């Protein structure tokens, strides 16, 4: 158990809909990272937040957005969903924002868009 929690574990929705994925980092961790893992694209970095502020952006689509709240939990919002958005979405956390720091991954949310 990494100490990172993600809800829900599974999500089934339809094209065009909007969903929100939630992540609670390990106690004391200030950074939260979001990743997408699909069969054809592998593991892709989406976005990082540090202490409530966006710190880095990866391959995140404009239809996707995220935020980190004062209690440090984070939400990833996916809108106008397409079939290709079906994937595993992981959240990870680390103590700070240094590149040497270990990231601790949650168990993931499996999203299926029908």
Partner 1 sequence: DAKTTQPNSMESNEEEPVHLPCNHSTISGTDYIHWYRQLPSQGPEYVIHGLTSNVNNRMASLAIAEDRKSSTLILHRATLRDAAVYYCILRAIIQGAQKLVFGQGTRLTINP
Burial class (CB in 10 A: 0-12, 13-18, 19+), 23: buried
Count helices and strands (H / E) in the chain.
Answer: 0, 11
Residue closer to partner 1, measured from CB, 27 or 100: 100
Q: Which stretch binds partner 1 (CB under 8 A): 8-16, 19-27, 44-52, 66-74?
A: 44-52
Residue from 3, 8, 53, 57 binding partner 1 (CB under 8 A): 57
Q: Closest Cα to residue 92, out of 82, 84, 81, 104?
A: 104
Residue 43 interacts with partner 1 (CB under 8 A)?
yes
Residues that bind partner 1 (CB under 8 A): 2, 4, 33, 42-45, 48, 55-58, 90, 92, 97, 99-100, 102-108
């Amino acid at each position: 158990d990494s100490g990172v929690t993600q809800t829900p574990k599974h999500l089934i929705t339809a094209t065009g809909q909007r969903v929100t994925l939630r992540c609670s980092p390990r106690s004391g961790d200030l950074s939260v990272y979001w990743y997408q893992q699909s069969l054809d694209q592998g593991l892709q970095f989406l976005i990082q937040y540090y202490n409530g502020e966006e710190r880095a952006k990866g391959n995140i689509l404009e239809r996707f957005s995220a935020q980190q709240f004062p209690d440090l939990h984070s939400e990833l919002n996916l809108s106008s969903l397409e079939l290709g958005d079906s994937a595993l979405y992981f959240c990870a956390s680390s103590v700070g924002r240094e590149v040497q720091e270990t990231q601790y991954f949650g168990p993931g949310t499996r999203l299926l868009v029908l």
